[in-house]
Amino acid sequence: MKRIAILLILLMMVVLSGCAGDKTPQRQEPKTPTEQQTAAEKVKVTLYFANQNADGLMPVERQIDKPNDMVTALVSELKKPDKNTPVLPEGSELIYYKTEGDTLVLNFNQAFANLQGSTGEFITINSLANTFTELPQYKNVKLMVEGKTLETGHAIYDKPIPRNEGIIKE
């Protein structure tokens, strides 16, 4: 009788161990960069660059990977030229940004203050204002350099800058 009980217990152990399944983790092959990009969600953004005559702005739509930080992504996109030159002066880096109500405060490094004459200044300031006011939460942009109000030889930008529809030319 004891032998039968022992055999039944051993038999049950064998049967139950077979039901447990394979618990060994399977190694997954990492995705290639193209597979990851395909899987990434894209968003359409509108950026404003100088038109060919540099007397106005033209909207340029781009598809970009959906960023975690839209403000930083838009600054990066403005550094990339379209058919014309980039909007931001060479060496410009965003130190930080913050939101004050419906105003986006952008604080750039000193290189940002190297705007190319009054035309370059006009294009850069309005490009930033129009690009960022495409985002629904912002109505104005305030620009700073190294934590201080942006002052050029032409103007002191101590007030928020609103969107300028009048300079948009297709």
Q: 46 phi and psi, to 5 degrees?
A: -115, 125
Joined tokens for residue 118: 């009054």
| In a domain? residue 15 | no
Choice between 17 and 117, residue whose per-residue pLDDT is larger? 117
| In a domain? residue 19 | no
| In a domain? residue 25 | no
| In a domain? residue 50 | yes
Q: Residue 26 has what pLDDT?
A: 47
How far apart CA 151 and CA 149 sit, in angstroms, is 6
In the chain, how many domains are there?
1
Q: Residue 16 has what pLDDT?
A: 54
Q: Residue 153 has what pLDDT?
A: 84
> Are the CB atoms for 57 and 167 separated by under 8 Å?
yes
Q: Residue 24 has what pLDDT?
A: 46
| In a domain? residue 73 | yes
Domain of 114 in residue numbering reads as: 38-167
Condensed to tens digits (0 to 9), the pLDDT of residues 95-120 reads: 999 999 999 999 999 999 988 788 88
Q: Residue 82 has what pLDDT?
A: 67
Q: What is the Cα 134 distance to its own chain's centre?
A: 14
Choice between 86 and 48, residue whose per-residue pLDDT is larger? 48
Burial 10-26 (b: 16+ CB within 10 A, else e): eeeeeeeeeeeeeeeee
Give the residue-averaged pLDDT of 77-91. 84
| In a domain? residue 11 | no
Q: Residue 83 has what pLDDT?
A: 74
| In a domain? residue 32 | no
Q: Average pLDDT over the chain, rounded to whole?
A: 84
